[in-house]
Structure formats: C-alpha cells, structure tokens
Structure 1
C-alpha cells in the first residue's frame, strides 16, 4: 500500500514531534554521509534540537576545520561584495549619525543634571522627544516579544510533561491490567511421604 504524502507543517503533539525529529535527524545525517562517500565531498552538518541538544556530522572527522574553511570562504565573499559597493551615501550617514550622537549627549547631560534644558533648542527638544518615544516603543516591543517566547516555551514544557504523564499513566494501567488478569496463582503439587510406601500431595 502506497504511503500518503506527509504535509510539511509543525507537529503539534510534542511526543510525535520528538519521534519525527529523531527519525529525520538520523536520515539527514545518513544522507550527508552517503553524499560525502559517493562524491568525495567534505560535509559538515550541525543540528540543534528544540531542547537545545546539539548533533553534528563532519565527514572528514574534524568540524573545526570545516568551520574555518567556511569562515574563510564567507569572508572572501563579503570582502568582494563590499568592494563592489560605492561609498556614495557615506558622508550623509556620517553627518546624520554625528547629529544624533550630539543630541543624545545633550539629552544625557540634561538627564544627569550637567546642563540646563534651556541650552537645547525647540527643534532639538522635539527630536529628542521623538527619539525617546521610538526607543520606548522598541523596548516595549522587545519586552513583549521576550515574554511571548517565554510563555511559548512554558507551554511547550507543559505539553511535554503532559505527554510524558499520559505515557506513564498508560503503562500503569497496563501493569494493573496484567496483575488483575493473573489474580489466581497456581501452586504446584509437591509429593511428601507420611508413612512408608504412601505418597500424599499438597
């Protein structure tokens, strides 16, 4: 019977997700090893599980060598792309950053009482206020994102614990069923002799 096509989406059941991860991880490492043997290629694979466990495969036996080769190749590519870029917008960016740094320095001096607010113009105050509002929004957004990630992690842990608990409950139920089914224990009959020539059985 032909196997149906598996829909590629996140598996909601934590136990099924862990089993699928283990099977497909082993298949991925096996295929990488076969590709290395067939084509004489140096392959490095690094996999992190949802729980933070690391699995790796280096076909030449040394992951560090492959990582250094990758860094070298990536650095050369980045250097070539940087050389192709024309530094036409750099002066404007430098000027804008310089103004922003000066504004921040004035704001910090005012915050720590080192200068009076009267030394800042209306435009600088408006700009500082806008930047502060943007920073507050970014901080709140980052805080909400971190809180959502922590809540999601706690929910995943709860699902894993619930799945583990269900497995243990099933095993306990199976053990209780086996004990109840074998409630009557057969005692073997052992012969013993009371008088000479007469055998009795328990």
Structure 2
C-alpha cells in the first residue's frame, strides 16, 4: 500500500538559504503574476503589480497602464484622506459641542437648585442679590400673566352679560306682545256673545205667512 506524502505547512519567515530563497521567489513571483493576469481577465478588473527582487530587479504587470493605475490609486488615497480629515474635524466639533452642552446643563441644574433655595451655602452676597433679582423678575412676570388671564375672563363675562341682557329684552318684548293679545281677547268674546243674543231663538210652529203676521 502506497503512502501519500503529506506536504508540510510552510512557516512564514525569511528563508535563510540563498538558493532556496531565490527558487521560492521565482516560483511565487510567477504565480503572483499569473494570478494578477487571471484576475484582470476574468473579472475585468484594473490590476497593476510591481515586484522588486532582493537584488533590485523590477518585475511588473498591468492590465492597462501601471502609471495610470498608480495615479488613480494616489488620487483615491488623497480623496480618502480628505474624507477622513473631514470626519475627524467633524468628530472634534461634535465632541466640543457635547462638552459645551454638558457644561451648560450642569450650570442650568446648579442655577435651578439655587433658585429653589438649595446649595446656597457657597454663594456670595452678590450672587444672592442676583438670585433675588431673578426671583423678583419671575414673580413680576407671573403676576402680569395672571392679571392678563383675569382680564380675558372678565371680558368674556362682560360679553356673556351683554348677550343675556339682549336675550332678556327679546323675551320681555315677546311677553308684552302675548299679554296685549290676551287683553284683546275678552272684548272679542263679548261681541260674539252679543251677536248670538240678536239671533232669534224662539220656536214657532206653522206657516211662514202666519209667523210674519204675528210679528207684525
């Protein structure tokens, strides 16, 4: 039974033997150039490969032009550095803004505590006087707003009063018209009763001629 030879894993370190290092360089260089060519053909990629041997000899491959590919690479890296620079500057500005906002929030919280009467032990007389002025100004604004609301409510009540007075006058006028109609009704009833009394109600049996002669 034949045993299959297992190839050992190559250690990634410099080959000390000069001849072995040169043989390995030639094999790996040719393989790398072949792979670059295959990549450019199969994938329609722009590939440029530059290799310098240990002795300084140049080996290169380019799917179009090595110079053009290098220029394109340099332009891309320049644009990329510009984008990174802008991102870094923006991040710096964001951090500065965040720090400034954090300081403002802390100062506002401290001012709020002082306005509520907390943390006044370390305040000087000038700071306390300034707090007193702020409180007086706040109270003045609150009273002004409260008075404005009272005036608005009073105006609404006055308007409602005018509407009620107008409605009351209309109902009073309607009531007076109804009362006048009731006062006129009894007189018309009396006239109707008189008309009924003038109608002859006596019962008479006989011919009409004899009835007329009787009344004559």
Bin of the TM-score, shorter chain as denominator length: 0.3 to 0.5
TM-score w.r.t. length of structure 1: 0.42
Which has the larger helix fraction?
A: 2
- Which structure has the bigger radius of gyration? 2
TM-score w.r.t. length of structure 2: 0.40
